[in-house]
Each structure stands twice: as structure tokens, then as C-alpha cells.
Amino acid sequence: MLIAGVPCPACGITRSYMLLANFDFIAAFKMFPLFWMPIAICILAYYEKLSDKIIIVFIALLIGVWIIRMIFLFPDQVPPMELNENGLLPLLLGRF
């Protein structure tokens, strides 16, 4: 976000886990809908069930959710989908 000015695909995951720690599951889902994915990856890796196909599905989900969030949430600057106006690209391009 510091360079591009736009949020990364996993933007909001830390805030999502903080909300989850407070048992606010709905807010955690709104902050980052795939908050469950790193937990699932760890569980699957522990039981040696993590295959290349599962990793590809998780990556596709991550990119798909990021694109949807960029289309529907980014223009309105809904947290965490906010433009960093002090990022390198927005400064160079004059705020998209």
C-alpha cells in the first residue's frame, strides 16, 4: 500500500483477526471475508492434506475476492479498501 497506494489482496486480515478475537464474527467477515483461509491452510498442512490443487483454489479465491472488493468497495474508500494518497504511484500519477 505504501508504493501502489491500493490495498493488497490480504488487506484487513490482521484487523479481521482482532475482531475475531473479540467474537465479532460478522465484522471479521466484513473486514476480510477469507479470514478462515490461513487457518484452513495450517490445518491442512498439519495433516499433510495440502495439495497443489488446494493451493491454486485458495490463490484463486484470494485474487477473486480482492478484485470484487476493489470493484465494489475501493471507490467508496470503505476500510480497509482505502486509497493511500501518500503512496508512490498516486503521488506520481496525481491521485488516479
- 20-45 per-position pLDDT tens digit: 999 999 999 999 999 999 999 999 99
d(CA 63, CA 47) in angstroms, rounded, equals: 25
* pLDDT exceeds cutoff 80 at 47: yes
Give a yes or no: residue 58 inside a domain.
yes
Mapped onto helix, strand or coil, the DSSP state of residue 87 is coil
Q: For position 89, what pLDDT does the model report?
A: 77
Does residue 6 sit within a domain? no
Give, to the nearest 10 degrees, the angle between helix 37-46 and helix 52-72. 180
Provide the residue range defining the domain that includes 41.
13-93
Write down the pLDDT at residue 28: 94
Kindly tell me the sign of the dihedral angle through the C-alpha atoms of 56, 61, 62, 64: positive
Number of domains in the chain: 1
Asked, for residue 5, whether it belongs to a domain, the answer is no
The residue that leads in pLDDT, 94 or 25, is: 25
- Is 8 part of a structural domain of the chain? no
Instruction: Provide the pLDDT for residue 76.
Output: 72
Is 84 a member of any domain?
A: yes
